[in-house]
Amino acid sequence: MSKNSPITMRVLHRYLGFFLAGIMFIYAVSGMVLIFRTTDFLKKEVQNHKELEPGLEGEKLGKELKIREFKAEKVEGDMVYFKTGTYNKATGVADFTTKELPFFLDKMTKLHKANTNSLLYFLNIFFGLSLLFFVISTFWMFRPSTKIFKNGIAFTIAGIILTLVLLFV
């Protein structure tokens, strides 16, 4: 970019694209990893030892352990046995295993899960607005009378149709 050249939509598109390339890489990798979140793909077993309030039962115990769809399999005296571990109602000690992504992948996937309780949501908003800018600025790259522009419109419509078909079928 020379000193005298005006900032055009093409220049903004180019440099914002270069800036966002790293963010897009992280989102792409973490998005693909999240596709497999209901499987054990790339996850490792982690032993957990938690001291909870004594006497917890049912849903409250599952909530404290952060285990979705928690179900006690059997209760013998003060010991509660569940799929991944045990809980002692008298002492409040829970020993259980979880399956977690490696540290770096876990941090990356938190980008997709960020909400207003996390500072990462500012990055998500910025990224979303940047992607919208790319969508809009793409149509300023070529004159509407050119074949490239007309083909671009056709590809845009095809992308919209494919997405809608996959969403509603």
Q: What is the pTM (predicted TM-score) of this model?
A: 0.69
Q: How far apart are CA 96 and CA 85, in angstroms?
A: 4
What string of pLDDT tens digits covers the 169 residues of the chain?
556 667 788 888 889 889 999 888 988 999 899 999 999 999 999 999 999 999 998 889 999 999 988 999 999 999 999 999 999 999 999 999 999 999 999 998 888 888 999 989 899 899 999 999 988 888 888 899 999 999 999 999 999 999 999 999 9
CB-count burial class (<10 Å; 0-12, 13-18, 19+) for 105: middle
